[in-house]
């Protein structure tokens, strides 16, 4: 089996709502997300480079789907904070098809942890 060289990206509706809401406050988020795809997600899943920015979420990973959290997310709108911006991105990596589906994005100052019920609801589609 050859190693995939490209990841297909998608997002669920509730992620789009989160993003739209956060964009009002952090206008650079869409560009920052593109950077995170290249510098975190693709490094981690395609090149197998662990730069300590992505963490699989315990209890939600299977052999076919990994639910991960990006903790080091550089947001240019949050000046001076670098990759410790406090923005968190939750996504599902589908190992066989090499697809990423974004599930949730939030600012840690407003919300401490990911919405575990949303993740469970997402995973129901694949069980």
Domain-embedded: residue 111: yes
Domain-embedded: residue 3: no
Domain-embedded: residue 2: no
115: Cβ contacts below 8 Å, ≥ 6 apart: 90, 104
- What is d(CA 13, CA 102) in angstroms, rounded to the nearest whole number? 9
Please report, in tens digits, the pLDDT of each residue of the chain (127 residues total): 456 779 999 999 999 999 999 999 999 999 999 999 999 999 999 999 999 999 999 999 999 999 999 999 999 998 888 777 899 999 999 999 999 999 999 999 889 899 999 999 999 998 7
**In terms of residue numbers, what domain contains 54?**
8-124
Domain-embedded: residue 13: yes
Q: What pTM, to 2 d.p., does this model score?
A: 0.93
């Amino acid at each position: 089996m050859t190693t995939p060289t490209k990841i297909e990206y998608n997002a669920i509706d509730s992620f789009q709502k989160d993003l739209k809401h956060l964009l009002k406050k952090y206008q650079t988020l869409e560009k920052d997300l593109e950077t995170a795809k290249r510098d975190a997600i693709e490094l981690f899943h395609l090149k197998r480079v662990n730069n300590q920015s992505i963490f699989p979420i315990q209890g939600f990973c299977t052999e076919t789907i990994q639910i991960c959290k990006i903790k080091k997310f550089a947001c240019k709108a949050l000046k001076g904070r670098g990759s410790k911006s406090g923005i968190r991105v939750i996504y599902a990596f589908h190992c066989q098809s090499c697809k990423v589906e974004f599930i949730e994005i939030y600012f840690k100052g407003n919300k401490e942890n990911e919405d575990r019920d949303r993740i469970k609801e997402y995973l129901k589609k694949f069980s």
